Amino acid sequence: MKRNLQIKELFLKNFDKPVTELKFKNLYELIVCVMLSAQCTDKRVNLITPDLFKAYPDIKSLANANLASLKSYIQSCSFFNNKAQNLIKMAKAVCENFDGEIPLNEKDLKSLAGVGQKTAHVVLIEWCGANFMAVDTHVFRVSHRLNLSKAKTPEATEEDLTRIFKDNLNYLHQAMVLFGRYTCKAKKPLCKECFLNHLCTSKDKEI
């Protein structure tokens, strides 16, 4: 469909090879950041992680973490109780099942506690540049407003976007995240300055 192709081209043109706003130095830090970022802002995660990574600098130290101590580092993050438990379980599984090396394929990543499809895809997108789409709240909102998907779930929305866009999915995912975060916001979207205004027929559109 011509319109979908135009949307794809405009995303790639307006966001030049975008990357996540999460701050990390290695694969271990990336997976922890992505797990923490579920239903939490990247800004908040970036405030939490410097002290967290000083206390637990690698997967082994996280696997041996005391649960109460770990919670104290991430308590300003949403769902910190669950996330703390999952982080320790994830780290233990990496140490026991993968010789301390975080796996870089979707199936093995999804075998880890707290790592669903979206988290696995984001890790593979950011670390490997994998041709995957990941659907968070921003991507879900943007794709529905732009009528790229009518699917009810993030997984089904991901299938729609993957089928429509086919390639450059890693960049398109991140472009849609940033676009949803700063332009096509949930409340008061900045429609007047939007580069997709002429292609958008959303009922949320601010004229």
Instruction: Give the pLDDT band (50/70/90) at residue 207.
Output: low
Alpha-carbon distance of 84 to 199, in angstroms, equals 43
pLDDT digits (tens, 9 = 90+) for 73-114: 999 999 999 999 999 999 999 999 999 999 999 999 999 999
Residue 162 · residue 117 · CB < 8 Å: no
Pick the closest to residue 119 from 128, 109, 129 (CA basis): 109
- Determine the longest span between alpha carbons in the chain, in angstroms: 56
The structural domains of the chain, with segments of one domain joined by +, span 2-18+133-199, 27-128
Alpha-carbon distance of 77 to 40, in angstroms, equals 7
0.75 surpassed by pTM: yes
pLDDT digits (tens, 9 = 90+) for 63-84: 999 999 999 999 999 999 999 9
27-128 falls under which CATH superfamily? Hypothetical protein; domain 2 (1.10.340.30)
- Is residue 39 predicted with pLDDT exceeding 80? yes
Q: In 159-198, which positions are buried (b, 16+ CB within 10 angstroms) versus exposed (e)?
A: ebbbebbeeebbbbbbbbbbbbbebbeeeebebeebebee
Phi, psi of 146 (to 5 degrees): -85, 5
pLDDT digits (tens, 9 = 90+) for 129-142: 999 999 999 999 99
Pick the closest to residue 50 from 27, 35, 32 (CA basis): 32
Alpha-carbon distance of 35 to 86, in angstroms, equals 9
What average pLDDT does the segment 171-196 reach? 95
pLDDT digits (tens, 9 = 90+) for 154-166: 999 999 999 999 9
Question: Rounded mean pLDDT of the chain?
Answer: 95
Question: What is the model's pLDDT at position 188?
Answer: 92
Instruction: Give the pLDDT band (50/70/90) at residue 206.
Output: confident
Instruction: Give the pLDDT band (50/70/90) at residue 34.
Output: very high
Question: What is the model's pLDDT at position 205?
Answer: 81
Residues designated as active site: 118, 136
Q: Which CATH code for domain 2-18+133-199?
A: 1.10.1670.10
